[in-house]
Amino acid sequence: MPVTVTDVAKAAGMSQPAVSQILNGSTRYKATSIAKVFAAAERLGYKPNTHARTLRSGRFGAVAYLLPPVSADQAGWLQEQLLIGMEAALAADNRHLVVAHLPDEQRSSSGDVPKMLRQWMVDAFVIDHSYITPPSIIEMMERSPVPCAWLNIDRPTDVVRCDEIAASRQATDILLARGHRRIAFLDYSRDPQTGSWHFSNQMRLQGYQEAMTAAGLPARWIGGDIQSEVIAFTRAWLSKDDRPTAVVSYSAELVHPLAQSLAFSGHNLGRELSFISFGTTNWMGRQRVDLMITPSRAVGEKVINLLDAKIAAGSPQPTRLLPMTYCAGSTIGPPPI
């Protein structure tokens, strides 16, 4: 038979009501009494009835991580370190994480939010904006009384994200320190005529421009909304006499077409062209890329901390910016002679 609160009370030599309150988090008892109860519970192998606790408190002890919307032809991903960070912060308070995904058609009205809470049995949401979140869900969450925090979105409150501008400025300074002067910003995912598809495009460009201006050098942007003919586009600008000696790339994925394009002419990335970018790991295939690393685990921990602070205060919390860390690789060298 399972161990009950009554069994723990007998083993601890205390009343059942007192033991029940202690096991449910009450701190009104002496530290010695609390320690005695938990020692008895551990010795007997007592497991709390989480269902009963939920009925009493009206809370589930869980937070849902809402995956960003992706279309059928997009590749989504889970950041392991981000999940570990959120889980660790929740586990410290005996809570857990629920990973959830919604089809776009469910993101329609604020009436859906209580329904989602019932279905998933969670108390709040962490919403990831790694891809573009439909305006409807942003408006829905703003109107809803359900607590939520955000990742990867540019808002003044309730967000945890990296300091993109500072990271890009640092990346550019690293290239400048190696002697590069013809440095370009590379972005194949943004059309300058229509604007950025994500706030980080503009912020990384801004950080690069600030560093170049501070160095008294002209900024240069290479890219566009390049969906096809990536290699042809890359080889075209690499073949010009005024090609840069180094690039700050919005996406680390561009290391592949760059390396391939350079190989056509017998050149190497890191020798004829230096490269630095942003990401979660600096291993790209068999090459170690110079990268500004996103502190994914810390982001996960901080977003839960922000959510808890928001719930405790009953009001929005200022957005928290986390620094990226430089991780050296093999893609930066001195300017070619």
The predicted-structure confidence for 150-187, as pLDDT tens digits, reads as follows 998 999 999 999 999 999 999 999 999 999 999 999 99
The overall average pLDDT reported for the chain is 85
* Cα separation, 221 vs 176, whole angstroms: 17
pLDDT, residue 158, reads: 95
Q: What distance, in Å, lies between the first and last C-alpha atoms of the chain?
A: 79
pLDDT, residue 28, reads: 76
Are the C-beta atoms of 126 and 100 separated by less than 8 Å?
no
**Which alpha helices (DSSP H) does 14-131 contain, by range?**
16-23, 31-44, 50-57, 80-91, 112-120
* Cα separation, 196 vs 250, whole angstroms: 12
Q: Specify the residue for token string 């990401």.
A: 279
Q: Note the pTM of the prediction, 2 decimals.
A: 0.79
Are the C-beta atoms of 11 and 36 separated by less than 8 Å?
no
Lowest pLDDT segment from 124-138, 209-223, 258-272: 124-138
Domain architecture of the chain: domains with CATH: 5-48 (1.10.260.40), 62-162+295-322 (3.40.50.2300), 164-294 (3.40.50.2300)
* Cα separation, 279 vs 86, whole angstroms: 19
Closest C-alpha among 330, 229, 244, 250 to residue 285: 330
* Cα separation, 172 vs 184, whole angstroms: 9
**Whether pLDDT at 101 is above 90:** no
CA distances from 233 to 62, 185, 224, 266 (A): 48, 15, 10, 18
Distance of CA 44 to the CA centre of its chain: 40
SS3 159: strand
The residues, ordered by sequence, that sit 6+ positions from 222 with a Cβ below 8 Å of its Cβ are 184, 185, 186, 187, 237, 244, 247
Q: Specify the residue for token string 């890191």.
A: 270
pLDDT, residue 168, reads: 99
Are the C-beta atoms of 285 and 256 separated by less than 8 Å?
yes
- CA angle, 279 then 285 then 291, to 5°: 25
> 293 φ, ψ to 5°?
-90, 130
Q: Which letter does DSSP use for residue 252 in this model?
A: G
More confident residue, 50 or 99: 99
pLDDT, residue 105, reads: 47
Are the C-beta atoms of 307 and 93 separated by less than 8 Å?
no
Average pLDDT for 94-122: 66
